[in-house]
Amino acid sequence: MRNLTLLTDFYELTMMQAYHHAAETTEQGQRAVFDMFYRENPCGNGYAVAAGLAQLIDYIKNLRFGDADIEYLRSTGAFREPFLNYLKNFRFTGDIHAVPEGTVVFPGEPLVRVSAPLAEGQFIETALLNIINHQSLIATKAARVCWAAAGDTVFEFGLRRAQGPDAGIYGARAAMIGGCHATSNVLAGQLFDIPVRGTHAHSWIMSFDTELAAFRCYADLYPRVCILLTDTYDTLKSGVPNAITVFKEMKEKGITSALYGIRLDSGDLAYLSKCAREMLDAAGFTDAIISASSDLDENLITELKAQGAKITLWGVGTNLITSKECPAFGGVYKMAALSSGDGPWIPKIKLSENPVKVTNPGIKKIYRLYDSTTGKMKADLIMLADEALSNHEDLTIFDPLATWKRMTLPAGSFTIRELLEPVFVGGDCVYPERRVADIREYAEAERGTLWDEHKRLVNPHIMPVDLSQKLYDLKQTMITQARGR
């Protein structure tokens, strides 16, 4: 992996120098806790899917200011030599906790918690947000697309429309976590050991004298996986009949395909797929698949299914890899606590005229509550790190903004799980490397704990994310004190 140390906003470095100078002046360094969270689900969804932790781990492991980096910073004229000398031996020495990739998450809860010397914790903000925001966005979009596909196969085909190579590579990985079955991105396949798939372009057909000759050649080269693109000239009068001719020839030769069928890339996909299905079935190819591409997204897939389209494999490109409907995740990184030297942690809060933007103070953890009978999620509860939670007694939780909204869970009716896991301890990575295939399987199980009402694409039910009474009281006290200054 290339070094991303300078992938940061300039003010992170100027603040970092100021923190370093203050620590040198007072001979007492500060430590801080920062939370990375987001305020609103993307795409109007009922949840998000956390992704990007693997790249964040690589970034933290490889934080190094090389000679060329330091010389460049010197050339800006903004940095003093004592600070530049400090950067020569810079390493991340703090702690990081995070929810595992693939976890279903909700607004307001920390996806990543950083506890580190203040300068270190501040410096990693920009890259952390860049990585987690982008990949969580694409994983969430992919989950929506796969939900709309209702069990059909979904391939990610967006590389050529992605916002640059990195977005294409890591977007493909995130799409797999979100539920896609394969990608067209060969480099992503190599880097992350994920399946790669593809058919052929219209130019393949156009390079032959006839469509039939193109189909025959392709089937000869790829008999085991033979998906033929049928809309270059005329889908129903030429493409599908020629595909059927080739399938008959393959059958006569005793060639058995593991996967065969046609792809539609233009026109009225519902109408064409229904007509093509009739033609394929009448010819005896009832197991031939019909796949489709053509600017698909979860909304169009939903509409096509409602219209009875006979498509069972969806190639989704531009609208997935760019999350065209919602191009940004909106995660933020806010200080939650501060300590001077070996002193106690002092909770910190950011106020706003917008209640949603008032942060939750202190060092926190998240407990997920599940119905003990169905295994479905009931709520998430954000608590202070020194609090304990038991399911052996009744638990009453409440909405932190509309406190009259309350729910009491009887003892034994729910199970609990803490979401944040240690990733770095004292600068050392303690988090096990996980295969994308395993993360995808975990993410699928995570989504399975949601009720369908939370997964619907339009106006989903909102999962409660509540504060413990102790955290709520701390927040209200700090708001009152801050307003009284």
Q: Look at residue 465 and tell me whether its pLDDT is greater than 70.
A: yes
Pairing of strands 182-183, 395-398: unpaired
For helices 125-149 and 53-61, angle between their N-to-C axes, nearest 10 degrees: 160
pLDDT digits (tens, 9 = 90+) for 300-329: 999 999 999 999 999 999 999 999 999 999
**The pLDDT of residue 27:** 58
Residue 257 β-bridge partners: none
Contact 223/206 with Cβ under 8 angstroms?
Answer: no
End-to-end CA distance of the chain: 48
**The pLDDT of residue 25:** 73
What's the pLDDT band for 466 if we cut at 50, 70, 90? very high
**The pLDDT of residue 197:** 96
C-alpha closest to that of 92 among 131, 63, 49: 63
- Cα separation of 33 and 348, whole Å? 9
Mean of the pLDDT values across residues 181-186? 98
Pairing of strands 153-156, 313-316: parallel
**The pLDDT of residue 28:** 65
**The pLDDT of residue 485:** 62
Q: Which of 26-40, 357-371, 384-398, 409-423 has the lowest mean pLDDT?
A: 26-40
For residue 116, the SS3 value is strand
> Higher model confidence: residue 257 or residue 209?
209
**The pLDDT of residue 22:** 87
For residue 40, the SS3 value is coil
C-alpha closest to that of 436 among 447, 444, 425, 448: 444
Mean of the pLDDT values across residues 441-458? 97
**The pLDDT of residue 258:** 87
Pairing of strands 421-425, 182-183: unpaired
Mean of the pLDDT values across residues 453-472? 97
Q: What is the mean pLDDT of the chain?
A: 96
**The pLDDT of residue 471:** 98
pLDDT digits (tens, 9 = 90+) for 148-157: 999 999 999 9
For residue 459, the SS3 value is coil
DSSP annotation of 101: T
C-alpha closest to that of 310 among 325, 294, 329, 288: 288
Q: pLDDT > 70: what percent of the chain?
A: 99
pLDDT digits (tens, 9 = 90+) for 40-85: 999 999 999 999 999 999 999 999 999 999 999 999 999 999 999 9
- Cα separation of 443 and 138, whole Å? 14
- Cα separation of 449 and 451, whole Å? 7
Q: pLDDT > 90: what percent of the chain?
A: 94
What string of H, E and C letters represents the secondary structure of 277-333? HHHHHHCCCCCCEEEECCCCCHHHHHHHHHCCCCCCEEEECHHHHCCCCCCCCCEEE
- Cα separation of 431 and 271, whole Å? 50
Contact 365/422 with Cβ under 8 angstroms?
Answer: no
Rg for the chain, CA atoms, rounded: 27
Q: Look at residue 433 and tell me whether its pLDDT is greater than 70.
A: yes
- The CA-CA-CA angle for residues 205, 312, 228, to 5°, reads 15
